[in-house]
Structure 1
């Protein structure tokens, strides 16, 4: 009936997640003053329901409960109902997720929290089946009327907890700054205790990629030459790339695997994962020359460009797990479908990708995955490698054509600054390692898009959709964009990117920094005031914004010879050091900063007409504790480190320096590498 399709207040929003709920019979409001005032005026408790567009269980709860008119009637009568897209409002999500965990409930999405009219939480949970949800609504409505005082007292206690400083919560205190070899090795030892030695990754199911752990471990191996660590890195990266978590046909990674073997993913594909995994696999290729990692980088960038890139040069947030109401339907095939598509080649295909008649997923479907290389498979099956390679490409082409005709998973087309910055960093890392100009073109297009559409004056916005930037930028937006712009400078030697990074870091120092604790708040001091103002310390699927800022301060302190930046970076690292030693899997990006401070960061300036070519030669080697700067000339530069650096007699010159003290200038990458490696024999340059 027509009246059942009347939109609620979400119809005016741009978030795809909120728009998914715009025709629910629940009288949803977006987070904001209107809903909060309504709760106070009507003296009603608030339901805040938080999720995101590609969240499978969010869809399930919507279908079961929020589309149910009888349940909606209870919600509308007794509550003011607010829907929040956690990707748009990570500040709101962080507060109420923290509250939920303080209630002793394991966090997740959908996140459903009950608040009093002052937006203070008193109860919450994640997914509720419809019967349980309806009973809970009725009970809370009754308790709110009869025992309001007790609920308010409980809410006050939770708010006290929420306003407890993160440093106090984890018992962090000011320590004297020092970095030690023994402590560095302890970080690696404690992290290795959680290794899954059979299938890679950390711990048991579910398994998340957690790129920052492996970016640290690559550096750890570089410093210690610990072969056990390198073996675990290779095991993990190989098993992820072979598993169902990786799209074997179209490239790109799903958010996580529900099992220990990386086989069955939740099929949503997030921009933030793929951006970081491009960086990780590019760096791992640089360190190991493993062909698989090269292929993963190229295929993942291909997926992102094909399926997540907007016409303006921004990258959309995610692809849904579901299509046609079924999780993974877009990506999976039955044995019969494969036989129809591939004919006589189907048995070989099915053996390589482990497809069976019974299937390894729901309804006889197969999640394609591998257990071996194409070369090994060719040997085992007595096939010519070049013939098998042609067949494999033909298989992919055919399956991609079939997928192109299927109903696609929903696209969350909002463009987030922080997640775009992660992809921008991935593209710059890929260009640095592989030299593919297309990667640099995409990076430059994206950087220009961000600075044109998501920046106004010195201030960033968090989200962009349909020509409009909204929501004041969070610390993650500034931190991740600064890091990406520094890297873009390193691979282009265009100083405007580095100058832009410095402007942004100075803005954060003025508007996000807490002098009392030498850490940054997650929100701008001019942003909307919530019931708590949080700081993000622990690295998760995205590194903590404070750990990224501490790295930014370290590197920009070197570039601009700014002791204030460097000292602050030292202070921040000292504060978290004890916790980092005990819980490195939650502070691995901090541990990466520890690596950069353990020995002096090399300052490598390349000046002259062949600066780009020299940089490409250096990129053939894994040199993770190094900053790059330069250009065709060092004259007129705004970077203090480039002062007095010139192309001697017009010939491209490389300066290798530590702590502003330079070794003799040289004219070849081989000579520079010898200096970087402490005078070891000149290296042989591998070919890509």
Structure 2
């Protein structure tokens, strides 16, 4: 009888990624005091292996190396081995990713770093093939025994580097905020040098969606009417939605495309990508009225609700890239499979979605994608547009029925506050633009879940699973939730959400803020002390927590008429401004904040029985530098609504800039005229 495999310590964890490694022969520990103490007591180096559940190459390395008993013997004999879910512990990941880059190596996951018993890094890398991995371990073990002093010296140097301030590293010093039109233009010019003018996005491949990049272009075009910005934005959004990056059958976006044409995705689907892309396409629809963007929003919300939503109203983290041992198998089809499903309509389907007998992916399979609009396809194939669109909808339903019978990609069912906040805001944004009550119902359900399960007293937790929240919140949790609550207030006028946002912001100022540098740390002052306490300033696929906080403070300063918020927001942007101008593609959310401050933000107060209806009328127009507040009843505690009353018992709108108000009006059209009169496109010439 075969000996039963005993699990390691990870069996007690809640993270799906850690649980995937619970039956490895490697003697894994989760990150924590027990593992670090063991390393010090036994004077052993530490392997920290960091990944996440939807990471394809993490699975490959696990199968090749961590399930290999001989390799596990080497790891267990010479090292203390720690597994980290980067999504649960972004603080640990940030420290050791920074260390890897300080070693001159390209970052990515799996991230494998070797530390001294004091948790100081001295070597690292990403994916290693099995022979290379075991050879590296043998060399490190020998060097640790024979050249310990040199390794300790190297580790100490890396530790000193990690403790150097991010702002100091880039020479970012305090400054007065100057807001010049030519600086805004220069941001766009520097951004545009990386445009892929053929396929959209930024060159070179691989290509990530990067939603805040395109939100910046939307705002830039609104301010300048520069057609180059709008053209590139529309090309990018269309190419992403037509490509294999987008699930043409079930909706939703994969994490990135490996090629320049957005054709071949890395098939994992992340909540944070899809949430932000809902926001992006909703806002782009508001600005352009492109039907494609409407469809993408509705289909992507449908995907998230169908496949990532819990019964409690929260949202799970991700879907794996792999199923049945193959990347993308769940989403792809052979030509024969398509013929069996669609019968006589298969040739037209294959023409529409570019499926071939040879396939465009592994094993003769096809990644479905489009190249042209429905209007053009219908014309070229002598079809009525509505007939084509009915056929496409039927095809999607037929393929979804087939996919429902396939083995599904793995689900990472942990719930993260920060990612749920992004989805909460996305739903509120979609409701703001489209007025679909179902969207705001989902948003409110999620908001109440977060308050009930992930907030205790005045603190947030980062994670939740099976009734338990175990990790203290990071700045990203607070920052993104504040932003979501501010948006939820704008679409409901329920002052609970505005007050929640203010309370959370005040908590961050007490517990995350570094007065010496005028920026926020990523971790709470009461959090576990790592070898470095980091600040997140660069925008990535998710905007940096400091740029989001600076934006939150901008809005809170207006809502509550508190100069301390506004002044801090200004000083944070002032410190970053020169770098934003030089590197806008890495700081696009900071560039969006620059837009908010370049001209005064419109403060719109709506008072009266029909305040929600008036808000709905105004929100159908693209007014990206506008803040909405409102109340059905008079006597609101919101400072922006103080002394605002409905006149002659009619719902009344007050449009104000810099504490100076226009004449009160009673129709959305009149308010819109006041808003557009102050937000006219700039006539400054293009660079």
> For this structure pair, what is the TM-score category when the shorter chain's length is used for normalisation?
over 0.9
Q: Secondary structure at the match of 2:404?
A: helix
Correspondence for 1:666: 665
Shift of 1:3: 4.0
Equivalent-residue separation in structure 1 for 2:507 and 2:403 (angstroms): 46
Equivalent-residue separation in structure 2 for 1:679 and 1:108 (angstroms): 45
Shift of 1:77: 0.4
Deviations 1:122-164, CA, capped at 9 Å, x for gaps? 0000000000001001000000000111101000000000000
Mapped pair 1:303 → 2:303: yes
Shift of 1:386: 2.1
Shift of 1:495: 0.3
Equivalent-residue separation in structure 2 for 1:415 and 1:201 (angstroms): 30
Correspondence for 2:642: 643
Deviations 1:64-106, CA, capped at 9 Å, x for gaps? 0000000000000000000000000000000000000000100
Deviations 1:181-230, CA, capped at 9 Å, x for gaps? 11011101110111000000011100000000011110000000000100
Q: Secondary structure at the match of 1:540?
A: coil
Shift of 1:2: 5.1
Correspondence for 2:149: 149
Q: Secondary structure at the match of 2:123?
A: strand
Equivalent-residue separation in structure 1 for 2:75 and 2:36 (angstroms): 16
Deviations 1:473-493, CA, capped at 9 Å, x for gaps? 000000000000000000000
Deviations 1:434-475, CA, capped at 9 Å, x for gaps? 000000000000000011100000000000001101100000
Correspondence for 2:280: 280
Shift of 1:178: 1.1
Q: Secondary structure at the match of 1:202?
A: coil
Equivalent-residue separation in structure 2 for 1:679 and 1:491 (angstroms): 23
Shift of 1:391: 1.2
The aligned runs of 1:405-424 (5 Å cut-off) are 405-424=405-424
Equivalent-residue separation in structure 2 for 1:475 and 1:108 (angstroms): 22
Q: Secondary structure at the match of 1:523?
A: coil
Correspondence for 2:442: 442
Mapped pair 1:349 → 2:349: yes
Equivalent-residue separation in structure 1 for 2:384 and 2:642 (angstroms): 57
Deviations 1:642-678, CA, capped at 9 Å, x for gaps? 0011111211100000112111100000000111122
Structure 1 residue runs of 5 or longer lacking an equivalent are 682-688
Correspondence for 1:554: 554
Q: Is contact 1:674–1:680 with CA below 8 Å preserved after alignment?
A: no
Correspondence for 2:684: none
Mapped pair 1:214 → 2:220: no
Shift of 1:679: 7.4
Shift of 1:17: 0.1
Q: Secondary structure at the match of 1:574?
A: helix
Shift of 1:384: 2.1
Correspondence for 1:433: 433
The aligned runs of 1:463-612 (5 Å cut-off) are 463-612=463-612
Equivalent-residue separation in structure 2 for 1:577 and 1:38 (angstroms): 46
Q: Is contact 1:45–1:116 with CA below 8 Å preserved after alignment?
A: yes
Equivalent-residue separation in structure 1 for 2:373 and 2:185 (angstroms): 33
Structure 1 runs (4+) deviating above 3 angstroms are 1-4
Equivalent-residue separation in structure 2 for 1:310 and 1:660 (angstroms): 44
Shift of 1:588: 0.4
The aligned runs of 1:102-141 (5 Å cut-off) are 102-141=102-141
Compared with structure 1, are the counterparts of its residues 515 and 679 closer, same or farther at alpha carbon in structure 2 (3 Å cutoff)? closer
Correspondence for 1:78: 78
Q: Is contact 1:27–1:81 with CA below 8 Å preserved after alignment?
A: yes
Shift of 1:627: 0.3
Moved more, 525-534 or 370-379: 370-379
| Two-structure CA RMSD over aligned residues (Å) | 0.9
Deviations 1:508-562, CA, capped at 9 Å, x for gaps? 0000000000000000000000000000000000000000000000000000000
Moved more, 251-260 or 604-613: 604-613
Correspondence for 1:452: 452
Q: Secondary structure at the match of 2:633?
A: coil
Equivalent-residue separation in structure 1 for 2:173 and 2:674 (angstroms): 39
Mapped pair 1:369 → 2:407: no
Compared with structure 1, are the counterparts of its residues 578 and 2 closer, same or farther at alpha carbon in structure 2 (3 Å cutoff)? farther
Equivalent-residue separation in structure 1 for 2:633 and 2:602 (angstroms): 20
Q: Is contact 1:521–1:536 with CA below 8 Å preserved after alignment?
A: yes
Equivalent-residue separation in structure 2 for 1:427 and 1:204 (angstroms): 32
The aligned runs of 1:255-404 (5 Å cut-off) are 255-404=255-404
Shift of 1:383: 1.2
Equivalent-residue separation in structure 1 for 2:209 and 2:540 (angstroms): 10
Shift of 1:638: 2.0
Shift of 1:580: 0.5
Equivalent-residue separation in structure 1 for 2:656 and 2:450 (angstroms): 33
Correspondence for 2:685: none
Q: Secondary structure at the match of 1:678?
A: helix
Equivalent-residue separation in structure 2 for 1:87 and 1:23 (angstroms): 21
Equivalent-residue separation in structure 2 for 1:249 and 1:194 (angstroms): 31
Correspondence for 2:247: 247
Moved more, 135-144 or 388-397: 388-397
Equivalent-residue separation in structure 2 for 1:189 and 1:648 (angstroms): 47
Q: Is contact 1:282–1:297 with CA below 8 Å preserved after alignment?
A: yes
Equivalent-residue separation in structure 2 for 1:219 and 1:679 (angstroms): 15
Equivalent-residue separation in structure 2 for 1:420 and 1:498 (angstroms): 18
Shift of 1:680: 9.9
Correspondence for 1:686: none
Mapped pair 1:158 → 2:177: no
Equivalent-residue separation in structure 2 for 1:56 and 1:449 (angstroms): 31
Equivalent-residue separation in structure 2 for 1:378 and 1:200 (angstroms): 24
Equivalent-residue separation in structure 2 for 1:42 and 1:634 (angstroms): 69
Q: Is contact 2:223–2:679 with CA below 8 Å preserved after alignment?
A: no
State how many pairs are aligned: 680
Equivalent-residue separation in structure 2 for 1:182 and 1:393 (angstroms): 47
Compared with structure 1, are the counterparts of its residues 2 and 445 closer, same or farther at alpha carbon in structure 2 (3 Å cutoff)? farther
